[in-house]
Amino acid sequence: DIQMTQSPSSLSASVGDRVTITCQASQDISNYLNWYQQKPGKAPKLLIYDASNLETGVPSRFSGSGSGTDFTFTISSLQPEDIATYYCQQYDNLPRTFGPGTKVDIK
C-alpha cells in the first residue's frame, strides 16, 4: 500500500492568514492526489483533484500543487467556515489510501 503522511497534524491560524498543509506519498504517485475537507459530523467534501484542479463550486482561496511524492494544499485567506479537517488521498494504486488528516482551527 502507498502510505500517505500529512503535516502538521493540526494548526491554529487567524482569519485572513495563509494556511499551508503538506502531504507526502511513500512512492511516486505522479499527480494522482486529491484533497478533501471534512467538517464535524459530515462526510468529506472533494476540494481538489489531480493535485491542482479545483472542484466545481469550491472557492478559489483553496489551491493545490505538487507531483511525485510531495504535495501542498493552501488556503490563501482563512475564513471561519474553513474550520475542518483536511485529508489528502492517492489514487495511483489500489487500495486507495488517505493521509491522517490536518485539523485546522481559528486562533
For other proteins, the binding residues (CB under 8 A) are 1, 32, 34, 36, 42-46, 49-50, 55, 87, 89, 91, 94-101
Distance, in Å, from the CA atom of 10 to the CA atom of 34, rounded to the nearest integer, reads 19
Which residue, 16 or 95, has its beta carbon nearer to other proteins?
Answer: 95
Distance, in Å, from the CA atom of 78 to the CA atom of 15, rounded to the nearest integer, reads 5
Other Cβ atoms within 10 Å of 87 Cβ, number: 22
- Min dist CB 81 to other proteins, Å, is 19
- Min dist CB 99 to other proteins, Å, is 7
Q: How far is CA 92 from CA 83, 95, 101, in A?
A: 29, 9, 19
- Min dist CB 5 to other proteins, Å, is 11
Which residue, 81 or 94, has its beta carbon nearer to other proteins?
Answer: 94
Which residue, 44 or 66, has its beta carbon nearer to other proteins?
Answer: 44
DSSP state of 69: T
